[in-house]
């Protein structure tokens, strides 16, 4: 009977966590440049929902662009990565390509080659960690785990057991090479119970956020109405 009561308590707490509704992902407190962008001297700390580090060319006229060329997302593989790790990262890169295309094709023609009135988007996944599914479950559903997770979250910006992913992006004029903007960002899992059993859920949710955020920023830059904030 004692074991049954413990199981019932556990399920009750888990249900409360699900019903509470946590954010899918959230921005980390810091990010380390990887070298993908090369020169980081133009980047400045972002504010609010902006990337942790960002640059926007003040002379760029975003309104004139009608097409977007999405360069296949690159990945930075850790030294000594196993074949399984490489496969996971490659899948993440493929997913990011899909998310970017899905969001940007709503407002732009997606093209494969440079040309006039075309933006080129280059991006890289510079770091990624899947969540520890067992730890994620414990730290989301059990009171002691919640306390430990909250302590780590306050100190590092990353709750216990969640996944994370870092990204760098460059946007240029596809025809002239003029730099339009750059961003460096890192997001971590937000303790949403819906992703407990998918080790890469946090990373995928973060990439979907970035794709939606880019579409939102471009919409605002165009001065369009009805821009949807992620």
Residue 230 lies in a domain: no
Please state, in angstroms and rounded to a whole number, the distance separating the CA atoms of residues 127 and 112: 26
Report the pLDDT value the prediction gives residue 197, as an integer from 0 to 100. Answer: 58
What is the reported pTM? 0.77
Residue 137 lies in a domain: yes
Give me the torsion for CA of 51, 55, 60, 66, rounded to 10°.
-30
SS3 77: coil
Residue 64 lies in a domain: yes
Residue 227 lies in a domain: no
Q: Domain limits at 78?
A: 2-222
pLDDT in tens, 200-212: 898 999 999 999 9
Residue 66 lies in a domain: yes
Structural domains in the chain (count): 1
Report the pLDDT value the prediction gives residue 187, as an integer from 0 to 100. Answer: 95
Residue 93 lies in a domain: yes
Residue 125 lies in a domain: yes
Residue 184 lies in a domain: yes
Report the pLDDT value the prediction gives residue 215, as an integer from 0 to 100. Answer: 98
CA dihedral for 38, 42, 45, 47, sign (positive or negative): negative
Measuring CA to CA, which residue among 157, 185, 153 is closest to residue 169? Answer: 185
Report the pLDDT value the prediction gives residue 196, as an integer from 0 to 100. Answer: 56
Report the pLDDT value the prediction gives residue 149, as an integer from 0 to 100. Answer: 40
Please state, in angstroms and rounded to a whole number, the distance separating the CA atoms of residues 120 and 216: 17
Residues of the chain where predicted confidence (pLDDT) is lower than 50: 4, 6-22, 133-157, 159-160
């Amino acid at each position: 009977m004692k074991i049954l009561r413990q199981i019932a308590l556990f399920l009750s707490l888990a249900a409360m966590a699900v019903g509470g509704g946590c954010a899918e992902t959230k921005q980390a407190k810091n990010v380390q440049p990887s070298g993908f962008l090369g020169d980081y001297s133009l980047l400045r700390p972002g504010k609010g929902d902006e990337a942790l580090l960002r640059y926007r060319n003040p002379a760029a006229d975003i309104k004139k662009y009608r097409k977007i060329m999405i360069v296949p997302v690159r990945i930075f593989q850790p030294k000594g990565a196993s074949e399984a790790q490489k496969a996971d990262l490659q899948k993440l890169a493929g997913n990011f390509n899909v998310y970017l295309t899905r969001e940007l094709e709503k407002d732009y023609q997606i093209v494969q080659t440079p040309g006039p009135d075309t933006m080129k988007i280059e991006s890289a996944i510079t770091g990624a960690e899947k969540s520890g599914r067992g730890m994620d479950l414990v730290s989301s559903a059990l009171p002691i785990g919640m306390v430990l997770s909250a302590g780590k979250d306050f100190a590092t910006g990353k709750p216990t057991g969640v996944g994370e992913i870092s990204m760098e992006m460059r946007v240029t004029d596809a025809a002239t090479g003029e730099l339009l903007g750059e961003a460096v960002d890192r997001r971590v899992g937000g303790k949403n119970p819906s992703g407990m059993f998918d080790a890469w859920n946090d990373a995928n949710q973060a990439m979907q956020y970035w794709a939606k955020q880019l579409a939102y920023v471009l919409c605002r830059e165009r001065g369009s109405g009805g821009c949807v904030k992620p």
